[in-house]
Structure 1
Amino acid sequence: MVTEDQKRYCLLMAARDSEYVKKVYGGYVNVFLKAFAEGEQWDLFRVVDGEFPDMDELHKYHGFVISGSPYDAYGNEMWILKLCFLLQTLDAMEKKVLGICFGHQVLCRALGGKVGKAHCGWDLGLRKIRIVEDLPLCSLFGVLEEIPPSLTIIECHQDEVWEVPLGAEVIAFSEQTGVEMFVIGDHILGIQGHPEYTKDILSNIIDRLALNDSVDKEFAENAKSRLEINGEPDRNSLEKICKNFLKEEGSGIISPPHWPTTHK
């Protein structure tokens, strides 16, 4: 039961559970809850399977998180188009929205930016992302003593943001990817990497990518070798950034429109 003063969050799942994650973690939802939840109410909607929150219920949520996905954020599957409409609505309502990997890219697309295949190809493993210099101390980093010059995050993507939406600010980049993090106002945050992933989850994904020939087996072996020797991601700092962003008080509520009628 949700009390009136209990914050409520919405997880928009854009990927199906792998057998490994189901066995070890009980599903991706538990991976996200372990990383971001602190006793609030979290509702799961598997948007990849066409499950969406009711438009009349959106005002009840304090924030939304969009997961990663094996699908292309620039694809035209019906659920992706419907997700784009939802994100446009949440932006108009100035609701907190955190997009991770695919979520980061589809946020960009929905709000007028451009996404596509990564110019440098697959990025699998640990990646050092650099925080933009002279970034003013803001609520996003308020939980940290100071803004770090760089953070190490787990990456697993072959697509990227080419151009951020009008009004967006790029706040982190890497040698491989020009837009690692972006913000719009105080209510939109996109992160290309995976602050919620553990190294064993990525290792299993690499194995599956090699098995279905999505990546060359030698490339996969090299990625796993680097994963073993490159230390650990800065999960504590990254999770704090995400939680601080989601749990800061947001803006007022605007009544949302209804879903558009779609025709095949």
Structure 2
Amino acid sequence: MKIGILVTGHPPDELREQFGAYDAMFRTLLDGNGFEFDSFAVVDNQFPDSADQADGWIITGSRHGAYEDHTWIPPLEDLIREIWTNGQPLIGVCFGHQIIAQALGGKVEKFSGGWAIGRTDYDYDGQTATLNAWHQDQVVELPEGAKVTGSNAFCRNAMVAYGDTIWTVQAHPEYGDGFIKGLMETRGKGVVPDALMQAAANRLPAKDDNPKIAQLMAEFLKKERA
């Protein structure tokens, strides 16, 4: 099964050599599932010819806002709608979660409640899922027919399903402790409140559920659909 990764951002240069680009993180996260991957740097206006170039799709995170004026945002939204119309599986993470909601009629904005960073607990399917977060933007209005599958008090639309072909998550199952620490150093200082970063740093040694969510993502992509 070929999975197309739509890369919507680049990690800080200081972190890329150690941790790789965002598409590499997803290749590692989903390793062992028999997937073939192809990456498209849509943030640099490198798009597939059509949604048919892959069997399923993943949209990565980004430092950009879904509501910002970038030349690559409208064609990405068009591609999302094409994937949705085709009934192909699509997973969105962080920015991917947000741009999918926006493309299908929802609303994304800079959340007045501030940032979520580091280890964060979500109520998912009656259980607690712990993942690394790094965001201020949130999906504040869902498209018609979208269903919330995971949330917490800070982010009520943290995981969302659209029928049985699209699933999105606000947090980052592809981020490990080291990358979060690196983001604090390179993108957090002077932007994220110091007290919030300290609290996140104190929680980093805690267990995360990246493997569980990775399995869920793989099963979702490979799921038989009518």
Question: TM-score scaled to structure 1, two decimals?
Answer: 0.80
- Counterpart amino acid of residue 15 in structure 1: G
* Structure-2 residue corresponding to 1:243: 218
Return the offset for 1:81. 1.5
User: Cα RMSD over matched residues?
Assistant: 1.6
Confirm or deny: 8 A CA contact 1:84 1:106 kept in the other structure.
Answer: yes
* Structure-1 residue corresponding to 2:164: 186
Return the offset for 1:20. 4.1
Aligned counterparts, 1:4-23, within 5 A: 7-23=1-17
Return the offset for 1:203. 1.0
Q: Distance in 1 between matches of 2:84 and 2:188?
A: 37
Q: Distance in 1 between matches of 2:20 and 2:170?
A: 24
In structure 2, relative to structure 1, the CA distance for the partners of 1:163 and 1:109 (3 Å cut) is same
CA distances 1:139-164 after superposition (whole Å, capped 9, x unpaired):
xxxxxxxxxx1111111000111111
* Structure-2 residue corresponding to 1:53: 48
Q: Distance in 2 between matches of 1:232 and 1:102?
A: 24
CA distances 1:45-104 after superposition (whole Å, capped 9, x unpaired):
01111111012xx22421100000000011221101111111011111111110000000
- Does 1:68 find its partner at 2:46? no
Give the 4+ runs in structure 1 shifted more than 4 A.
Answer: none
Q: Distance in 2 between matches of 1:47 and 1:191?
A: 20
Q: Distance in 1 between matches of 2:99 and 2:192?
A: 23
1:170 to 135, 148, 163: 148
In structure 2, relative to structure 1, the CA distance for the partners of 1:150 and 1:210 (3 Å cut) is closer
Return the offset for 1:132. 4.8
Q: Distance in 2 between matches of 1:189 and 1:19?
A: 30
CA distances 1:147-189 after superposition (whole Å, capped 9, x unpaired):
xx11111110001111111011101101210011010111011
Return the offset for 1:116. 0.7
* Structure-2 residue corresponding to 1:141: none
Paired residues in the alignment total: 225
- Counterpart amino acid of residue 24 in structure 1: Q
- Counterpart amino acid of residue 178 in structure 2: D
Structure possessing the higher radius of gyration over alpha carbons: 1
Confirm or deny: 8 A CA contact 2:123 2:150 kept in the other structure.
Answer: yes
Question: Matched residues, percent identical?
Answer: 30
1:29 to 15, 23, 44: 23
* Structure-2 residue corresponding to 1:255: none
CA distances 1:217-258 after superposition (whole Å, capped 9, x unpaired):
444333222324xx121111111111111111345xxxxxxx
Return the offset for 1:196. 1.0
CA distances 1:118-145 after superposition (whole Å, capped 9, x unpaired):
2321000111100255xxxxxxxxxxxx
Return the offset for 1:200. 0.8
Q: Distance in 1 between matches of 2:222 and 2:81?
A: 21
Question: TM-score scaled to structure 2, two decimals?
Answer: 0.93
1:214 to 188, 191, 199: 191
Aligned counterparts, 1:62-141, within 5 A: 62-133=55-126
SS at match of 2:173: coil
Q: Distance in 2 between matches of 1:238 and 1:71?
A: 24
SS at match of 1:78: coil
Deviates more, 1:71-80 or 1:44-53: 71-80
Confirm or deny: 8 A CA contact 2:181 2:201 kept in the other structure.
Answer: yes
